[in-house]
Amino acid sequence: MKQFDVCHAVGAARKVGRLVVVLQHPYVDQISTIIVAPLFSPKDLPLVSLVRISVRIDRKIHVAAVDRLAALSAKDLGAPIANLEKHREKFSRAWDLLFFGF
């Protein structure tokens, strides 16, 4: 799994769940969890300047909610369907704001 890969979080009974974006760098591979941010429809979760990022996947707009980080077991992530590397700077600004206040 690469940083910024988008995949489905697999729920109970191995059902396909919400889309998430992997934020954890692959160098941190000694742990069994991966830090992700969930993706929402803009109708379900409004944008918040610098903290929730608007991204497009297959012509559909999603909100990457960096303020709702989660640690999921690596085995609970499906295969990547997209990669949001081109939004690296936006994600970096969101982390800086959330964790360092600037």
pLDDT above 70 (res 92): yes
CATH number of domain containing 55: 2.30.30.110
Residue 23: which residues within 8 A CB-CB, separation 6 or more? 3, 4, 35, 36, 37, 66, 69, 91, 95
Contact 70, 83 (CB under 8 A): no
Q: pLDDT, tens digit, for every residue of 67-89?
A: 999 999 989 999 999 999 999 99
The Cα 26–Cα 34 span in angstroms is 9
**Which pTM does this prediction carry?**
0.91
Mode of pairing for the β-strands spanning 52-57 and 33-40: unpaired
Contact 2, 22 (CB under 8 A): yes
Q: pLDDT, tens digit, for every residue of 5-24?
A: 999 998 655 567 899 999 99
Q: Which domain holds residue 77?
A: 5-100
